């Protein structure tokens, strides 16, 4: 068995607004959406750089839930970009909340975190240096010895 691709699938409250946000903030391109007669979006596909991003409204009747206010999800999406500072600032202008400001990281990336208006966390980063795994581990050990993040 071969896995060919992996697609993030987001559940949101307000899928049409989410599609608009992801289009404006991250440059996503909507491929299509399937809409119920009630207007609820059952499925939408967007391209976001080289990936397919899928999303739908929450369907609590099927236990398909969107993030709730103040709750951190166990997953996030990392966008590897040319300029994390610029994309983060743009996402905030579009309605995201900056959670962690851009900073240079031990693993050779400048990165930050934003939360979209629908509760999903996005990590945004760009490479600032190539770091060998051994050096990355050394830096990680040093950071953890000083108390962690």
* Closest by CA position to 51, among listed 83, 14, 79: 79
Same CATH fold, 73-149 and 1-65? no
* Residues 77 and 83 sit within 8 Å (Cβ to Cβ): no
73-149 CATH = 3.10.180.10
Distance between CA atoms of 12 and 68, rounded to whole angstroms? 10
Domain ranges within the chain, ordered by starting residue: 1-65, 73-149
Instruction: State residue 73's pLDDT score.
Output: 72
pTM summary value: 0.90
CB contact at 8 A, 10 and 53: yes
For each of the chain's 149 residues, which pLDDT tens digit applies? Answer: 998 889 999 999 999 999 999 999 999 999 999 999 999 999 999 999 999 999 999 998 999 888 876 676 778 999 999 999 999 999 999 999 999 999 999 999 999 999 999 999 999 999 999 999 999 999 999 999 988 77
- In 3D space, the residue among 11, 34, 31, 35 whose CA is nearest the CA of residue 23 turns out to be 31
Q: What fold characterizes domain 1-65?
A: 3.30.720
d(CA 119, CA 127): 26
């Amino acid at each position: 068995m071969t896995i060919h691709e992996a697609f993030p699938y987001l559940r949101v409250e307000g899928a049409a607004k989410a599609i608009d946000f992801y289009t404006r903030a991250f440059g996503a391109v909507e491929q299509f959406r399937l809409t119920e007669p009630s207007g609820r979006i059952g499925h939408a596909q967007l391209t976001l750089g080289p990936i397919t991003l899928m999303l739908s409204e929450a369907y609590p009747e099927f236990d398909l839930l969107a993030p709730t206010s103040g709750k951190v999800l166990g997953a996030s999406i990392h966008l590897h970009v040319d300029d994390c500072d610029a994309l983060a600032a743009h996402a905030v202008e579009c309605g995201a909340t900056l959670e962690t400001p851009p900073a240079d990281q031990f693993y050779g990336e400048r990165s930050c975190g934003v939360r979209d208006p629908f509760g999903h966390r996005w990590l945004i980063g760009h490479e600032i240096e190539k770091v060998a795994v051994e050096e990355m581990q050394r830096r990680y050990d040093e950071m953890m010895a000083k108390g962690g993040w």
